[in-house]
A = this chain, B = another copy of it.
């Protein structure tokens, strides 16, 4: 695709809520602005990629990074998912953050707090060497900011052994539920505790490799690391 004509290079502030991504259930929770979706995509670390093979859907978890108006994923050239995706089959990429458990006064109104993004579209393989290496760097630095410059760079064989795909962040929607329960007015006086319990994915203490050479300190960027959005 001509880069000047690539819609990913001209992102709109609002997604177009096509029938494929429009939120039907609880439409008040829908967000079609790019900023909301980007914040979710920059906070989560795993996406679920849906594809179809012989009529059967498959949903595979994988890491990703948002780079401007596209998502980058990577893996082995032998991956069934990536091979199909590189061939341009239709994809759905969904990212979900679980933010809490919502306890209502009635069983029916129990819920979860969450932030999710659904992206549909086709992938394109990133093959141009500089763009591919930049994508590999973005993926490692998404895992741990600052890591790339600290480690052995990939060999030509390792680069060849990595397939990188980009998925335009164009046809997408976000959905957000936050806060406490929404009970029926007539239930509000029930003598039942109601509210929510927040959930956060947070880091524990770093565990050094058993074969770590002596005298290597934990880098500051690892010690200070918090996932994006969890300050």
Write the residues of chain A forming the contact surface with B, with a CB cutoff of 8 angstroms: 20, 24-25, 45-46, 48-52, 55-61, 63, 75-76, 78-80, 90-94, 96, 98, 101, 103-108, 110, 112, 114, 116, 118, 120, 136-137, 139-140, 143-144, 147-148, 150-155, 158, 161-162, 180-181, 183, 187-213, 216-219, 222, 225, 227
Contact = CB atoms under 8 A, between A and B. Distances in A.
A7 to B, nearest CB: 18
Given A140-B110, A151-B105, A199-B201, A46 B96 contact: yes
A90 B57 contact: yes
A84 to B, nearest CB: 11
Contacts of A46: 96, 98, 112, 114
A103 B213 contact: no
Max chain B Cβ within 10 angstroms of own Cβ: one of A162, A197, A205: A197
B203 A202 contact: no
A202 B204 CA distance: 11
Q: Is the interface of A mostly helix, strand, loop or mixed?
A: mixed
Given A98-B46, A188-B211, A93 B152 contact: no
B152 A187 contact: yes
A218 B197 CA distance: 11
Given A211-B188, A222-B197, A158 B108 contact: yes
Given A57-B90, A58-B120, A196-B207, 8 more contacts: A25-B78, A107-B147, A110-B140, A110-B147, A181-B209, A194-B211, A200-B204, A201-B201
A186 to B, nearest CB: 10
A61 B105 contact: no
